[in-house]
Structure 1
Amino acid sequence: MKKTYYLFNPGRMSRKDNTLKFTPVDEQGREGAPKYIPVEGVSDLFCFGSLDANSALYNFLGKAGIAVHFFDYYEHYTGSFTPKEYLLAGKMQIEQTKQHIDKRKRLVLARKFVSGAAFNMMKNLRYYINRDKDLTAALASIEQYAMLVDGATAVDELMGIEGNVRQAYYDAFDGIIGADFTMGNRSKRPPQNEINALISFGNMMCYTLCLSQLYHTQLNPTISFLHEPGYRRYSLALDLAEIFKPVLVDRLIFRVLNKKEIQAKDFDHRLNGCLLKDAGRKTFVKIWEERINETFKHPVLKRHVSYKHLVKLECYKLSKHILGMEEYKPFKARW
């Protein structure tokens, strides 16, 4: 089974026969012991440190179907090297573009992304309400906003509803997480406290996961329905991420803070903001990998699938809707 590899240290990567050779390099330019990764076992690479590589390596990675995702010092996603888009199909491209241009059809899909995201946020709140957390006011607020989704007549209006839902949801975080941390206002560039740092890092991981799964379908990741194309390059990944952030990111944040798997010492408060230190990022990524590879019995397929594969299934459902084969219904967590 192919794995995702995370490169936290800066270094140099090259090809050695049918193996990837990664040589870490410290700030003084000293080389560490090289690590060898068989190319057959790699699905993609996440580079959080600077990577020194040449075009020959990227030709090799492209032929092997391995994507490379890059992040800057502040943990912002900056771009990807992706192999040739061998799955893109003309018919899908045309139909996907038609769905975006037709305001009525686009609105149908945009509503579904917002309603799916709101449902999954409410599912999280109900879980903690059942464990004696006082979150009923936040839940009631989200329910009121969610009732407005079907009546929205423009995508901008839907984005406003989604923003209000998420703000009410974030207001409930302090009631879920222990007294060691507080949410405050949502801040992004850079995050101003620990919870915001985890949200930004986790959302970025979710966005990149959605992008990776889109690559394995015929969908074009640049043509979206809720978010405006061009706001970011792969805006369809943003649409899909709205549905999965409550299930994959937020539940992970609640776990690592409530179980103290990530603590105050794992954050860096320099640079006018707050970021995860290397140790904190490694802990988060380890649990993230465990989470997305965790399997459950799919209620429709009647077989076990991983959460990572669930994202790909969401892409297939969206493809069928666009091709007029089956109405798209967003994933809604039942557990």
Structure 2
Amino acid sequence: LLREHGYEVAGGVLYFAASRERVPVNFDDALIEQTHAAITGLRALAQAALPPEPLTESPKCPRCSLVGICQPDEIAFLRHQSGELRPPYVADPHALPLHVQTPRAYLRKEGDCMVVEVEREKIMEARLADVSQVVVYGGGGMTTPLLHELLNRGIPVTWLSYGGWLMGHTVGAGHHNVEVRTDQYRASFDPEKCLALARGLVAAKIRNCRTLLRRNWRGSEPEVPPDLLLSLKEDSRHAERATSLATLLGVEGSAAARYFANFGRLLKADELGAFAFAERNRRPPRDPVNALLSFAYSMLTREWLVVLSAVGLDAYRGFYHQQRFARPALALDLMEPFRPLIADSVVITAINNGELGAADFVRAAGGCALTDRGRRAFIAAFERRMATEVIHPLFGYAASYRRLLEVQARLLIRWLAGEIPEYPNFTTR
């Protein structure tokens, strides 16, 4: 470009930060031709329907900003079940969700910040760079300039009812790689692929429920009854061998009945007065524990909606959960193994640590719901859980639960494209 505009450019300098070396480079005809060929190749690659093959043990990968997207070590490991996985040098983003539940709250843009006002009085301010998503409860609103800025930055806005029911999701232009969704739609019409994915999801969920019982048992017996653990283990095996989605639904229902029949034994005995739990009920939940479970599942669904939108998948086209208007079937599919690990775990922790009490709930019209204070306390507990770092059982590196959701979503994309033999579900011991 400089030469075309009349400048004489004989060469340049490459600077290597690690060794602090400057290497002069002469711009001869051969190098210019090689550069043009590389640019042509990059343009062709950008227009290709399929991504390039991941590099194998390249020293360039661990510190690359795209390593969390192409996942070279993970793909190679899943294909060959061998090799050492190098932890990617991609930190969890520092930005966090902003939950706005104050009645009549109004959000506006002020420079590079977001301001929350109630009746024209500023109650808080947050830098847009520190916000990963905005969650608005009830009748909150925002200005058009702020909404435009959020869309430009790729920050999604989720709209919930006062009780936490998902009402809608505002995102930008969306992911431009239509091939990802093409693979998803094609697989969703393949009964064998649907069943294969669903079996793994349900089996992983049951195994994680079993783990949660072992870790948090507070029943009258010193340990979880062996017959209960054995039954759940058998349920997991039956799920892996299910021959139809209908059979799988039956296995999941049987395991859920065993699990929730003993869920109350995971709570502290001195808290059972306010948090007595007999069975799972919903729509509406009739007691505090069920109110917390329903709210936690709603929050986990929202997290998956955000992740699926970011990676280019359609949250409303699933494989296990049947398609229904306005039902985020894929989000419900992929959250199955994480229900006990994130949602149920937050409920147990919030109750056993005394973060919630009887005064944090209100009963009306046969249902039970959280008060504003109770919702704030539970949201804080949920966000702490999402930020908790755990070791990936298959890959061996540490990542927060929020980051792991994205890892799993991108692995699903690889499976849908036929790049790995099976989708690796997340389970913990």
Superposition TM-score, scaled by structure 2 size: 0.72
State the SS of the aligned residue for 1:188. coil
Q: CA deviation at 1:117?
A: 0.6
Please state how far the C-alpha of 1:133 moved relative to its aligned partner: 4.1
What residue is the counterpart of 2:333 in the other structure?
A: 239
- Among residues 143, 147, 151, which one is paired with 2:233 in the alignment? 143
2:265: which partner in 1?
175
Q: How far has the Cα of 1:137 moved from its partner?
A: 4.3
Question: Which runs of 5 or more residues in structure 1 are unaligned?
Answer: 26-30
Superposition map of 1:9-88 within 5 A: 9-10=102-103, 11-25=105-119, 31-85=120-174, 87-88=175-176
Higher mean C-alpha displacement, 47-56 vs 254-263? 47-56
Q: Contact 2:393–2:428 at 8 Å: present in 1 too?
A: no
After TM superposition, the structure 1 stretch with the greater mean CA deviation from structure 2, 216-225 or 188-197, is: 216-225
Distance apart, 1:135 and its partner CA: 4.3
State the match for 1:8 in structure 2.
101
SS at match of 1:292: helix
Which residue is 2:382 aligned to? Answer: 288
Query: Is the contact between residue 88 and residue 219 of structure 1 (CA under 8 Å) also seen in structure 2?
Result: no
**Which amino acid letter does the alignment assign opposite residue 197 of structure 2?**
L
Q: CA deviation at 1:82?
A: 1.5
Code of the residue aligned with 1:306 in structure 2: it is: S
- What's the offset of the Cα at 1:249? 1.2
CA contact (8 A) 2:107 2:116 kept: yes
> What's the offset of the Cα at 1:163?
2.1
| Deviation at residue 286 of structure 1 after TM alignment | 1.0
- C-alpha contact 1:134 1:175 (8 A) present in aligned 2: no
Q: Is the 8 A contact 1:221 1:236 kept in 2?
A: yes
Letter in 2 for 1:150: E
Indicate the RMSD between aligned Cα atoms, in angstroms.
2.0
Normalising by structure 1, report the TM-score.
0.91
Q: 1:108 aligns with which of 196, 205, 208?
A: 196
1:102 maps to amino acid: D
Contact 2:101 2:136 in 1 (8 A): yes
2:427 aligns to what? Answer: 332
CA contact (8 A) 2:393 2:427 kept: no
Match in the other structure for 2:25:
none
Q: Distance in 2 between matches of 1:203 and 1:225?
A: 19
Equivalent residue, structure 1, for 2:90: none
User: Would the aligned equivalents of 2:137 and 2:161 in 1 still touch at CA under 8 Å?
Assistant: yes
Identify the residue that residue 215 of structure 2 maps to in structure 1: 127
Flag the 1:298–1:263 CA change in 2: closer, same or farther, 3 A: same
Provide closer, same or farther for how the CA distance between residues 88 and 330 of structure 1 changes in structure 2, counting only shifts above 3 A. Answer: farther
Match of 1:192 in 2: 286
Within 2, Cα distance between the matches of 1:191 and 1:297? 34
More displaced stretch, 262-271 vs 239-248: 262-271
The code of the aligned residue for 1:3 comes to L
Q: Is the 8 A contact 1:135 1:175 kept in 2?
A: no
Give the direction of change, closer, same or farther, for the CA distance of 1:297–1:241 in structure 2 (3 Å limit): closer
- Tell me the residue number matched to 2:250: 160
CA gap 1:141/1:297 in 2 versus in 1, 3 angstroms: closer
* Aligned-pair identity (%): 25
Does the Cα contact within 8 Å between 1:133 and 1:176 map onto a contact in 2?
no
Q: Structure 1: how far apart are the matches of 2:222 and 2:178?
A: 53
> What does residue 213 of structure 1 align with?
307
| Distance in 2 (alpha carbons) for counterparts of 1:155 and 1:79 | 29
Distance in structure 1 (CA, Å) of the matches to 2:396 and 2:246: 38
TM-superposed deviation, 1:215: 1.9
**Counterpart-to-counterpart distance in 2, 1:73 and 1:100:** 34
Cα displacement (A) at 1:176: 1.4
The answer as to whether partners of 2:199 and 2:241 remain within 8 angstroms in 1 is no
Q: CA–CA distance in 2 between the matches of 1:34 and 1:263? A: 26
In structure 2, distance between residues paired with 1:77 and 1:138: 35
C-alpha contact 1:159 1:226 (8 A) present in aligned 2: no
Question: Where in structure 2 are the equivalents of 1:225-264 lying within 5 Å?
Answer: 225-230=319-324, 232-264=326-358
Indicate the residue corresponding to 1:28 in structure 2: none
User: Cα–Cα, structure 1 residues 135 and 33, in superposed 2: closer, same or farther, change >3 Å?
Assistant: farther
Deviates more, 1:192-201 or 1:60-69: 60-69
Give secondary structure in 1 for the equivalent of 2:214: helix
Tell whether 2:408 aligns with 1:314: yes
| Distance change >3 Å, CA 280–CA 301, structure 1 → 2 | same
Shift of 1:293: 0.9
Q: Distance in 1 between matches of 2:299 and 2:345?
A: 14
Q: 1:145 offset after TM fit, Å?
A: 2.6
- C-alpha displacement at 1:90, in angstroms? 2.3
The question of whether the paired residues in 2 share the 8 Å contact of 1:215 and 1:221 is answered with: yes
CA distance in 1, matches of 2:380, 2:193: 39
Q: Secondary structure at the match of 2:122?
A: coil
CA contact (8 A) 1:297 1:304 kept: yes
Cα distance between partner residues in 1 of 2:248 and 2:299: 24
2:399 corresponds in structure 1 to: 305
Question: Radius of gyration: which is bigger?
Answer: 2
Q: Counterparts of 1:296 and 1:147 in 2: how far apart (Å)?
A: 25
**Offset at 1:300?**
4.5
Do the aligned residues in 2 keep the contact of 1:267 with 1:275 (CA within 8 Å)?
yes
